[in-house]
A and B are shown apart, each in its own frame.
Chain A
Amino acid sequence: MTARFAATELNLSNYRTERRYRLMLFSMTAMLVLPVLIILAILILKGAPMISWEFLFEFPRRGMTEGGIYPALLGTIFIVVVDLIFAMPIGVAAAIYLSEYAPDNWLTRAINLAIINLAGVPSIVHALFGVGAFVIFFGFGTSILAAALTVAIMTLPLVIVATRESLQAVPQAFREACWSMGASRWQTIFTVVLPNAISGILTGLILEVSRTAGETAPIMFTGAAFFLPFLPESVFDQTMALSLHLFVVSTQVPEVPEALPYGVALVLIGIVLIMNAISIVFRSYLRGKKKW
C-alpha cells in the first residue's frame, strides 16, 4: 500500500492499466448499444421497400401473405386509446397519492412493492389475469376493452413512476407557501404542483403509448385476433393489432414473402421509437425552461 505514492514507473503502469480498463468498458458499452443501431439498419434495409400507402391502408389479402396492415394498425390505435383512458387517470392519481398524501408507513411500502411487482410479473401472467378477470369474470369477452384493461394494469407502473418523479421534483417550499395561504391540499396540487409536473406526466403518457403499442402477450388472449376481415365497431369487439400481427406473419402463416414481416416490424418499431424519441426531446426541452 505504501508503494502507491512512490515510484513514477508505478504511476505510469497505473495510468496504462487505467486506459486499458477504460477502453474495455467503452467497448462493452458500445457492444451493448451497437445492436440497436445494427438491428435498426437491417429492419430499415429489409422493411423499407414494403412501406407504401397501400401497405399502411389496405386490408391483408390471401391469408395475410399480401396486402396491407390497416386493420392491425387501427386496432393498435384503438387499444392504445382505451388503455390511456384507464391507465392515465389511475396512474396519475396513484402518483399524486404517493407523492402528496402518503405518510411513511407500511401501507405506502406495500403500495410501492405492489408497483414493483406489477412491473415485474411476467406479461403472460398478466394475460392469464386478463383472461380470468376481464374476459370471463366481468364478461367482456375477448374484446378491445379486455385487452386494453389488461395492458393498462400491466403498464400502470410506467405512468406512476414517471408522474411521481416529476411531482417530487416540485420544491416543497411551493407547497408550504400555498398551504400557508389557506389553500387546501387539492388546490395546492391543482394550482402549483400539477402545472409544474406536467412535463413528467406527458412523458409518462408518451412512454405508455409506446409500451402499449408494443405489447403482445397480454393482448393475444384477451382481445387481439390473428385475422379479422372487418374493423371492430365497439370496444366489445375483437381487433387485430400490429404487435400480434408481426408474431402471426412471422411464425404462423406459411409462405409469407420475406420482406412482409420486416415491413410490419419496421412500422411497429417506428411507432415505438418515434414515441420514445419525442419523449426524450420533450424532456430535454422542458428541462431547459424550468420556472425556478
Chain B
Amino acid sequence: MVAAETRTKVLEVNDLSISYGPKTAMSGLSLDVYENEIFGIIGPANSGKTSFLRAINRMDAFDSQMNVNGSLRFMGTEVSAWRNDYALRRQIGVVFPLPVGLPMSIYDNVAFAAKLRGVKGKAALDEVVERCLTRAALWDEVKDRLDSLGSQLSGGQQQRLTIARALSQEPTLLMLDEFSIAVDPVTTMRIEDVLKELKKEMTILLVTNLVQQAERLADRTALFLNGSLIEIGYTDALFEGQTQDQRTKDYLEGRFG
C-alpha cells in the first residue's frame, strides 16, 4: 500500500455526492485512481457507477437536473474548476454500454476527435484513423469501407469503433461503462486484450456488470451499492476472499445483484 501512494494520482475523489433533482445517485464517495492502472467498478444496476463516470467528465454541464457536490480532482485540478470543460473531456475517453456510432462515416467517426484537437491535413488524419482502428481491432474489417456510415455497423463493430474513437482522443483516462453488454463474447475477449495493452499508456476506469471481467482485468476493484462505496481493494485479494465487508463477498460470489 505504501508503494501505491507514491504513484501519480489521476483521480482524487473526496466525499463526492451526485443527485438528479431530489433523487440521490451517489453519496460520500472517496477514492483515488492511479496512473496506468485498470480500476474496476462493480455493482448492481442503479448503484451509482454510471453517475460517477458522468460526474468525472462533467456531464452535469449538459443536464440541469444533475447536481454534483464534493471534491473531484482530475490531474490535480477540480473538474469544476477547469476553465475549458471541453478540454477536460478531450482528456477523457468514454465508451458507452450501448455502442453509439455517430451518423457519419467510419473515417469521420475516428477523425472527429483529432480534428477537434486541431490535427490538420489528410495524411495526419489518415494516420490517426488507421492507428486507432488497428488498436481497436477493427481496421481489417473496415479498411475497405471507411466511407460507409458508422451507425450501420454491427453492434460489436460499433463498440470497437467507439473504442477507436475514444483512443483517437489520446486520452489520459479511458472510461468504459459496461462495454460488453451488447457485444458477443469473442469480441469482448478481443477488446479485453486491447485494454491490457492500453494500460501501459493510460489509466482505465472499467465499470462492469461482470464480476469475472473485473477479475480478469482490474488491478484494483471497488464495489458500489445503492449509491455508496462499500469496499475498495486489490482485485486479487478481494477474489481470494480478503474482503472487509460481507456484502462484497456475497456480491463476488454471485449471491445478489
Contact = CB atoms under 8 A, between A and B. Distances in A.
Are A and B direct contacts in the complex by CB distance below 8 Å? yes
A4 interface: no
Interface string A180-209: 111111010001100110000000000000
B103 interface: yes
B64 interface: yes
B112 A173 contact: no
Contacts of A62: none
Given A176-B59, A181-B169, A182-B89, A104 B64 contact: yes
Interface in A143-181: 173-181
Contacts of A173: 96, 98, 100
A291 interface: yes
Contacts of B90: 181-182
B146 interface: no
A69 B61 CA distance: 56
Interface residues of A, number: 23
Interface string B203-242: 0000000000000000000000000000000000000000
Most buried by B among A174, A182, A292: A182
Contacts of B194: none
A190 B151 CA distance: 18
Contacts of A292: 103, 151
Most buried by B among A105, A175, A176, A192: A176
A103 interface: yes
A19 B149 CA distance: 49
Contact of A174 (B88, B93, B103): B103
Interface residues of B, number: 30
A287 B160 CA distance: 28
A203 B74 CA distance: 45
B198 to A, nearest CB: 17
A179 B103 contact: no
Interface in A197-256: none
A192 B64 CA distance: 21
B94 interface: yes
Contacts of B151: 291-292
A179 B96 contact: no
Given A176-B59, A181-B165, A291 B113 contact: no
A5 to B, nearest CB: 42
B104 interface: yes
Given A103-B64, A291-B103, A292-B103, A183 B86 contact: yes
Contacts of A184: 86
B75 interface: no
Most buried by B among A174, A181, A196: A181
A182 B169 contact: yes
B234 to A, nearest CB: 29
Contacts of A181: 89-90, 93-94, 112-113, 116, 165-166, 169
Given A103-B64, A173-B96, A291-B151, A180 B102 contact: no
Nearest to B169: A181
Nearest to B89: A182
Contact of B86 (A177, A182, A191): A182
Nearest to A175: B62
Interface of A: 103-105, 173-185, 187, 191-192, 195-196, 291-292
7 contacts: A177-B102, A177-B162, A178-B102, A179-B59, A182-B86, A191-B112, A192-B103
Q: Which 10 A-B pairs have the closest CB atoms?
A: A182-B90, A180-B94, A182-B89, A103-B64, A291-B103, A177-B100, A181-B113, A173-B100, A292-B151, A184-B86
